[in-house]
Structure 1
Amino acid sequence: MSKVLLKVENLKKYFPIRSGIFSRKKSDVKAVDDISFEVYEGETLGIVGESGCGKSTTGRVIMQLHEATSGKVTFNDVELTTLSSKQMRKARRDIQMVFQDPYASLNPRHTVQKILEEPLIVHGIGTAEERKQKVQEYLEIVGLSAYHAKRYPHQFSGGQRQRIGIARALMTNPKLIIADEPVSALDVSIQAQVLNLMQRLQQDLKLTYIFIAHDLGVVRHISDRVGVMYLGRMVELAGSETLYEEPLHPYTQALLSAVPVPDPVYLREQIILQGDIPSPSNPPNGCTFHTRCPFATDICKTTVPVFMEVKQGHSVACHLYSEA
């Protein structure tokens, strides 16, 4: 078993809803509501779920771009939630993020040289000449050319911009990269190129990934283990093949039944969920999925299911699998 690089314990992130002229707190949006998981060195952990389930917020809280409401995030035996902003800035040398929108995440007024050089300047790495060399080297690594360093972001396609975003994340030689839907804004053919690039870089540079996405096909292609989130909570976590071949949670089963299969003869029974996702500012009591679950019983409406391991390496939060 590889070393645990990142450990998330009982993590919560609530955003206050305020109203009135005095901005009094009325309630909370429970974006991330008590989730726990581990990430092992050298693996890719995929996190999937519908829009608004808290995937991206989880990534941002791990990076401490949002302050956690409660819970612990331990990276390389250092608890990130207790660090000052200055200490966290140093820690970010080892944790980097690739953002979803390659159009918005690059400063349009800066050349690629300046964009890629900035992390090195912030962390005091190398001389001006060494930084210039490293920028050119990493542009080549991600499939661009050294002369692209003089250009501006608007002169690149979406796929090329995302390659620049990946190069920027790699500049400080991080141990962990959090990729927040890095291919969702790209064409399918470009998606494959970027995913193959990320897998090659993982092997060459010994990287660990948290890969956040809503496309289950993409996640299966790149992930070693997959966690499924629903309304701020982790409902299932298992090895990639295990989860796709034997999903245990009714929500995971419904998600997988909606994945298109490129075979006109193959017929898969599609599970149609009733109703809409409840509001994260007012989630249902008990199991948050019980309002849409075809197997819901009385206990689901009152008691929150425990997220527990029911098989080797396969955890689920569902009363169907509890000992009771």
Structure 2
Amino acid sequence: MRAEPLLEVNQLKKYYAIDQGLFKPKKMIKAVEDVSFTVYQGETVSLVGESGCGKSTTGRSILRLNDITSGEIRFKGTEISTLGDRELRTLRRKMQMVFQDPYASLNPKKSIRQILTEPLRVHGLFSPKERVEKAIDILKIVGLSEYHLDRYPYEFSGGQRQRIGIARALILQPELIVADEPVSALDLSVQSQVINLLLRLQKDFQLTYLFISHDLGVVRHISDRVGVMYLGRMVEMAKTADIFQAPKHPYTQALLSAVPKKHPDESKERIILQGDLPSPANPPTGCAFHPRCPQKMSVCQVTTPPLRHLGNGQYTACHLYAES
């Protein structure tokens, strides 16, 4: 029996207005366009795609770090896209974020003691002494110690800083963590340590992850389901095994063909996409992928394909799978 939905995103849109000059109308950048998906309690859903596809904007919009243009975001059945600042502050105890850059995400003027106790103070939790005790406990959980409490971010390596960022997100005991490229800025040897830490924390604290990454190897290791985004839209969503073994959308197939071979004898055909990623300020008509798609049809140039269910929890937005 499947767990209850923790997060439900329905037709999420996020547009940015760009000035073109004094007498010209503003141009709209469609960073996220009609994205819908569900995240169930205890699972890890990953969003993947090229840089600029809208996956990070989607994550930030879900936590209301960006104001959304339209759509619905439900957390445990409660609509949160229209909540005010006071209600959002209460909600954010249950929804936290781990940022991509461990150097920029920590205030260099604050000690680790201040960084970790600040969320507890803002939410009015515990006494000052208890906050420090909680900070020490969470440091130990992420692999650091009480010794690090009064040091500053510049005294730590990138991997240690990311552990502190994870500790800051974890200290409020959230249910959902949005991890935005949490290992992309780290050395390869440190990446595996942080990924294993995230997996252990998920098991110990019953966490749910929305994991945003461009590293398909990491995604395959950590995810239960994967959503593939292209130019602001979700083009495929499926269980991790189905995505990697039987991708349906031509864009997903091209992405996976770029993953290095596991063995020299492995046979793999590299799919080279022609052309550049179109601008979200001037997206193509119809299917946004059609200018680069090796399997495009005439209908692809005029009609945007809906996200269709192909069975077994696999969805794809492609006219190749149109109902006959």
Q: TM-score range by the shorter chain?
A: over 0.9
Q: For residue 203 of structure 1, what is the aligned residue in structure 2? A: 203
Pairwise CA distance, 1:220? 0.5
Q: For residue 11 of structure 1, what is the aligned residue in structure 2? A: 12
Pairwise CA distance, 1:28? 0.5
- Partners of 1:204 and 1:151 lie apart in 2 by 27
Q: For residue 262 of structure 1, what is the aligned residue in structure 2? A: 262
- Partners of 2:41 and 2:265 lie apart in 1 by 41
Map 1:131-142 to 2 at 5 A: 131-142=131-142
Residues 98-126 of structure 1 show CA distances to partners (whole Å, capped at 9, x for unaligned) of 00000000000000010011110111110
- Partners of 1:272 and 1:19 lie apart in 2 by 34
- Partners of 2:25 and 2:244 lie apart in 1 by 42
Pairwise CA distance, 1:25? 4.2
Runs (4+) off by over 4 Å = none
Q: For residue 237 of structure 1, what is the aligned residue in structure 2? A: 237
Percent identity, aligned pairs only, is 59
Q: For residue 170 of structure 1, what is the aligned residue in structure 2? A: 170
Pairwise CA distance, 1:20? 2.5
Backbone CA RMSD of aligned residues: 0.9
Matched, 1:72 2:72: yes
State the TM-score, normalized to the length of structure 2: 0.98
Q: For residue 88 of structure 1, what is the aligned residue in structure 2? A: 88
- Partners of 2:264 and 2:70 lie apart in 1 by 49
Runs of 5+ unmatched residues, structure 1: none
Q: Contact 2:113 / 2:135 at 8 angstroms: preserved in 1?
A: yes
Pairwise CA distance, 1:21? 4.2
Q: For residue 190 of structure 1, what is the aligned residue in structure 2? A: 190
How many residues are aligned here?
323
Map 1:28-107 to 2 at 5 A: 28-107=28-107
Map 1:207-226 to 2 at 5 A: 207-226=207-226
Q: Contact 2:20 / 2:27 at 8 angstroms: preserved in 1?
A: no
Runs of 5+ unmatched residues, structure 2: none
SS of equivalent residue, structure 2 residue 191: helix
Map 1:137-152 to 2 at 5 A: 137-152=137-152
Q: For residue 318 of structure 1, what is the aligned residue in structure 2? A: 318
- Partners of 2:291 and 2:101 lie apart in 1 by 33
Letter in 2 for 1:86: R
- Partners of 1:164 and 1:88 lie apart in 2 by 24
Matched, 1:278 2:278: yes
Q: Contact 1:16 / 1:25 at 8 angstroms: preserved in 2?
A: no
